[in-house]
Amino acid sequence: MEQFRLPKIDMPALELPAAVQSVLSEAEEKLAHRPKLLKLFKNCFPNTLETTTKLMEDGTTFVITGDIPASWLRDSVEQVIHYVPLAKEDADLQRIIAGLIKRHIQYVQIDPYANAFNETSNDWHWNAADKTDMSPWVWERKFEIDSLCFVVRLAYTYWKETGRADIFDAGFKAAMRTIYDVFRTEQHHAEQSPYRFMRNNGIPEDSLQNQGLGMPVNYTGMIWSGFRSSDDACDFHYNIPGNMFAVVALRQMQEFAEWVFRDLEFLEELKQLELEVDHGIKLYGIYRHPEFGPIYAYETDGFGNYCLMDDAGTPGIMSIPYLGYVTADDPIYQNSRRFALSKENPFYFEGKAAKGIGSPHTPKDYIWHMALSMQGITATTAEEKLEMISMLEATDADTGFMHEGFHADDPTVFTRKWFAWSNSLFSQLVYRAMKDGIL
């Protein structure tokens, strides 16, 4: 990721909640026979809490992404999601996670088109010259459909795991309505959307074509997205994994509407939108590949043009079952997975040290640790899970942490030595393997 001179931010270390300390003690026993993996897990599992989390006086929680002093809606959810199953009996974790949900709700109400926010209205920006409707609260204003889905994901998961409903206030309901309204608007982006984005920095992936409007799209029922989860501009603006994530989020929002807010009118609106988006995915989002059969495209424009690839970020092709759209044994997903893990995927790389998925966001031959972790999490066999854990263990460049991308031939050449999302996703994989008894 291209770096501007980044302002410093004070992130005091939190005392680890008892439930987190208990997991680390459990790892001491279950990973004792693999000392390097144990060290990695003990570094990565608490990394978000130790280095990126700040409890605010208003009861909210601010979580930076790591080496950038801003909070991404997407990243902050994935940085803490592995703590949610531990929160039911831990008041400290409840304070941290519920506080993050409350801050997300504030951010959505400030600007539902932004992907990353500041701690205060300090007017810090990734690029102050961006041509878009910027707020002093907003670090970056790239509209990514998944950002809003992740807000729903964390609230839903927290509610289901803990049974606590104290997050569901009037502000939460208003934010859900805002998300719905944005999704509805972006079904008709060119005709109805106020959103535009241009960045004149010489990097095509950082800006939208067509004077910030994006390339033309046909109506499909799906929701338009300006950018991918990598923060790179879409080629074709219906991102299929992102729309799958939206379907899941709309189903979760239906539960909020029905069981929390008892708003049957909103429930019906959500059901109708889910139906339209899902119909669009099934009608426009499946590509008949000559080698792999029907696969999920990465993007389409609804005019018959497709982007066939996978990116290391979530949502992506690999992460479809992780998001909850289909299960890992879904036949089209399995075809898509085989495509993503082949050289037909332009961002799949093989080298002397590793093989896996990278991203157009980083140089050629750079594999992402997050892609390896997600491959392990979504694998259907213990053998593949263990293979991914071993590959991750062998490619940390003896730093004790995960990174963004590393060179397939030389893991000591890597990007982002402090990238908390990657540490958390790795921790999810290892913790699940511990619980499954395969380590």
Range 395-410 average pLDDT: 97
Work out the pLDDT band at 207, boundaries 50, 70, 90.
very high
Work out the pLDDT band at 7, boundaries 50, 70, 90.
low
What's the CA gap between 172 and 178, in Å, rounded?
Answer: 10
Is 5's pLDDT higher than 60? Answer: no
Maximum Cα interatomic distance, the chain, rounded to a whole number of Å: 60
How far is CA 394 from its chain centroid? 25
- Which DSSP category does 68 fall into? S
Q: Which residues touch 3 (CB under 8 Å, ≥6 apart)?
A: none
Work out the pLDDT band at 3, boundaries 50, 70, 90.
very low
Concatenate the DSSP letters of all residues of 9-65 into one string: ---PPPPPPHHHHHHHHHHHHHTTT-HHHHHHHHHHTTHHHHHTEEE-TTS-EEE--
Please write the tens of the pLDDT for every residue from 117-158. 999 999 999 999 999 999 999 999 999 999 999 999 999 999
Please write the tens of the pLDDT for every residue from 28-43. 999 999 999 999 999 9
Please write the tens of the pLDDT for every residue from 324-378. 999 999 999 999 999 999 999 999 999 999 999 999 999 999 999 999 999 999 9
Work out the pLDDT band at 232, boundaries 50, 70, 90.
very high
Residue type, 11: M
Quote the pLDDT of residue 10: 66
User: Of 119, 111, 93, whose CA–CA distance to 151 is shortest?
Assistant: 111
Work out the pLDDT band at 413, boundaries 50, 70, 90.
very high
Classify each residue of 228-263 as buried b or exposed e, where b means 16 or more C-beta atoms within 10 Å of its C-beta.
Answer: bbbbbbbbbbbbbbbbbbbbbbbbbbbebbeeeeeb
Is 4's pLDDT higher than 60? Answer: no
Q: Mean pLDDT of all residues in the chain?
A: 96
Helix (H) or strand (E) holding 338: helix 331-340
0.85 surpassed by pTM: yes
- Which DSSP category does 82 fall into? G
What's the CA gap between 123 and 384, in Å, rounded?
Answer: 46
- Answer whether 89's CB lies under 8 Å from 162's CB: no
| ω into 315 cis (within 30 of 0) | yes
Task: Domain 18-436: give its CATH code.
Answer: 1.50.10.10
Quote the pLDDT of residue 2: 39
How far is CA 176 from its chain centroid? 19
Range 250-274 average pLDDT: 98
Helix (H) or strand (E) holding 89: none
Helix (H) or strand (E) holding 92: helix 91-110
Range 202-211 average pLDDT: 94
Quote the pLDDT of residue 128: 92
